[in-house]
Amino acid sequence: MELHTSQDIAWRPSADMLAQSNLLAFMRSLGVADYDALRQRAAEDMAWFWDAVIRYWDMRFYRPYDVVVDPSRGLPWHAWCVGGTTNVVLNCLDRHLETPVRDQEAVAWEGEDGRRRSWTFAQLDEETCRFAALLRALGFSKGDVIALYVPFVPEATAALLGIAKIGAVVLPLFSGYGTAAVADRLADGGAVAVVTADGTLRRGNEVALKAVIDEAAPQVKTLRKVVVIRNRGTAVTMKPGRDHWWDEAAPGDAATHTEPVEADAPLVLAFTSGTTGKAKGAVLTHCGLLTKIALDIGLCFDFKPQDRLLWMSDMGWIVGPITTLGTTFLKGTLVIAEGGPDYPQKGRMWKLVQDHRVSFLGVAPTTIRTLMRHGVEEVEKYDLSSLRIAASTGEPWNRDSWLWCFRNVCKGTVPLHNYIGGTEVSGGILATTVIHPMKPCSFVGPIPGMSADIVDEAGNSLPAGQMGELVLRQPSIGMTRGLWRDPGDRYLDTYWNRLPGMWAHGDFAYRDEDGFWFVPGRSDDTMNVAGKRTGPSEVESLLLATGRVAEAAVVGVPDEVKGTAVVCVCVPAAGETAGAALSEKLSDAVVAGLGKPFRPREIVFVSDVPKTRNMKIMRRVVRAVYAGQPPGDLAALQNPESVEELRTVLAATRG
């Protein structure tokens, strides 16, 4: 385990940042002495804390709630903002329309081909109202499930808000899913309509989206309507009576009414993939998702109305809805880009920061490791002086990539936040803040309101220096309300029954002697080698530190002697030749860092490792392919060809 020292502090907040921080202003408004006192009070009185967050941000309700939380059904089934009615559109759009915010830029978009569009808050509201009018004209209303299978274009934000405006439930789908994954999720969700686009552009290639919906639709008995955005001018077949063009919707003034819904009513139905079985449908609510966003993005990460946020993702991942709702609620600007971070220019993401004067940049560690291949010179071509905040999520950092990003992108002055949690909790469990110093790869600890702990197999709290399971001892307002169309058994078995009385999130964590928290990786990824437990990211860090590999995916496989043996799947760096010599140097680096028991059983060289669209390395897929087992759900992969390449390489090495 890589431990950190007090001399390892990489960033400290300036006096100006402290004085102007949203978090300190919030604490002062409550009369709370310090951050630790805030966390303790939040743990002792969750109703007080979540009510304070709601009131601080002046969240609007049509009818105020009677109680913040009703715990009567037990830990897994808390109800929130009971008796209240609201709608996220009331908070994210309607409240701004009689203020100067209406004329501010809400959405700035750039396509892979360089096209640009921009909407003010008033224009976003107009598009939202037009789409809501179309949905109502088509017969949809409160409680209906309507899916989004769209590229990240401006209409995607209006579609999300338009569905919410009529009180329907948003079902986001990754725009890279194939027919089977789309059909399964539409059917499981009971979707009555889907919004899609004619096509999109990915790395210079035209990708048809409407055609996928046409293939999936016959398998979805509940599906009645398809709305199509004109994006690329791709030829499509429109089925009379079922299919409708987005731009032929009714005028916006036909849908100014925002539907009041119960505060705890479903807003987003987000399917999350597992290793086996069907994807799980997390149910996120109007009051829960928005309150959690306000806490995480508004308080911990210090988002301000003048900020311009770029977090390259997809509306099909929770980052898309979070950034859309967060920027509109907090009166900032969402910068969105169709395509990837390094095409058509290797430094496309840095060019977007420069050209759109991005002040808040979201990244994934795997994205940074990919961009590192192109060299520091690609970063230095662009003016990144607009950056004020950077934040990361999706994967554990390794030290070298964190420092590379902090030194070259953040220039050693901009805080590089760390954030981990998941769809099922509407955001983060652990994070950093602008009022605390940062060590590379660290977290300051649990976000207030997230009663996190690190425990052993029996549920006992562990001291500093010992790695254990990351758990929540209490529910939070953003937590999924069970699983969609599930009586409760799978929900309880997945999250609450592994360690009774606690939510087990599936990550390992530890604290260092200074109180900083670290997450080496998923608990199902963690390797127990000759009695020593470590996360794959620690081995991957050692491999990457050699400078001889561009990417690495490390997994543990059964071993008769050690219990678990280490297998490394690596992408050689530019100029390196795959073979025995390189394998030996990499093995030696692992041994030097972790000891002889961790010498890899095998190092496999490939041109790419399996990754999701939001750049998470799919280690479970690597492990399954290596073992010759079915790889499970591959719908989220952005590069499914990497799986077949790995199979081919392994077959060749095994004769």
pLDDT at 146 over 80: yes
Mean pLDDT of 90-96: 98
Q: Specify the pLDDT at position 276.
A: 42
For the record, the structure tokens of 393 come out as 């999520």
Model confidence over 255-277: pLDDT tens digits? Answer: 689 999 999 999 999 998 644 45
The dihedral sign for the CA sequence 71, 73, 75, 76:
negative
Which stretch of 166-175, 283-292, 516-525 has the lowest confidence by average pLDDT? Answer: 516-525
Distance CA 373, CA 519 (A): 25
3-state secondary structure 518-568: EEEEECCCCEEECCEEECHHHHHHHHHHCCCEEEEEEEEEEECCCEEEEEE
Q: Specify the pLDDT at position 561.
A: 66
Q: Which long-range contacts (CB under 8 A, 24 or more apart) does 110-118 make?
A: 110/335, 110/336, 110/337, 110/338, 110/352, 110/355, 110/356, 111/153, 111/201, 111/337, 111/338, 111/339, 112/201, 112/202, 112/203, 112/204, 112/337, 112/338, 112/339, 112/340, 112/343, 112/344, 113/201, 117/154
Distance CA 185, CA 282 (A): 12
Torsion angles phi and psi, residue 119, rounded to 5: -125, 140
Q: Specify the pLDDT at position 4.
A: 47
DSSP-derived secondary structure letter, 447: P
Q: Specify the pLDDT at position 525.
A: 72
For the chain, the average pLDDT equals 92
Model confidence over 12-32: pLDDT tens digits? Answer: 999 999 999 999 999 999 999
Which stretch of 46-60, 183-197, 315-329, 561-575 has the lowest confidence by average pLDDT? Answer: 561-575
Q: Specify the pLDDT at position 642.
A: 93
Model confidence over 493-526: pLDDT tens digits? Answer: 989 998 989 999 888 899 999 999 999 877 767 6
Distance CA 459, CA 653 (A): 43
Cα→Cα distances 96→57, 91, 407, Å: 14, 8, 38
Mean pLDDT of 567-591: 93
Q: Specify the pLDDT at position 541.
A: 84
Q: Specify the pLDDT at position 554.
A: 93
Which string of DSSP letters, residue by residue, matches 112-158?
TTS-EEEEEHHHHHHHHHHHHHHHHHTT--TT-EEEEE--SSHHHHH
Of 64 and 500, the structure prediction assigns the larger pLDDT to: 64
Q: Specify the pLDDT at position 488.
A: 83
pLDDT at 254 over 60: no
For the record, the structure tokens of 590 come out as 């692992």
Predicted confidence band of residue 250 (pLDDT cuts 50, 70, 90): low
Cβ(171)–Cβ(189) under 8 Å? yes
pLDDT at 615 over 80: no
The SS3 of residue 227 is strand
Sole residue written with tokens 């759109």:
356
Q: At what angle do helices 536-545 and 399-408 cross, to 10 degrees?
A: 60
Predicted confidence band of residue 394 (pLDDT cuts 50, 70, 90): confident
pLDDT at 536 over 90: no
For the record, the structure tokens of 209 come out as 């989206």
Name the CATH superfamily housing domain 530-653. ANL, C-terminal domain (3.30.300.30)
pLDDT at 532 over 80: no
Q: Specify the pLDDT at position 1.
A: 40
Q: Is the peptide bond before 365 cis (omega within 30 degrees of 0)?
A: no
The ranges assigned to domains in the chain are 530-653
Distance CA 571, CA 211 (A): 34
Of 353 and 176, the structure prediction assigns the larger pLDDT to: 353
Give the whole-number percent of the chain exceeding pLDDT 90. 76
Mean pLDDT of 634-654: 88
Model confidence over 197-238: pLDDT tens digits? Answer: 999 998 899 999 999 999 999 999 999 999 999 999 999 999
Model confidence over 436-473: pLDDT tens digits? Answer: 999 999 999 999 999 999 999 899 999 999 989 999 99
Predicted confidence band of residue 152 (pLDDT cuts 50, 70, 90): very high
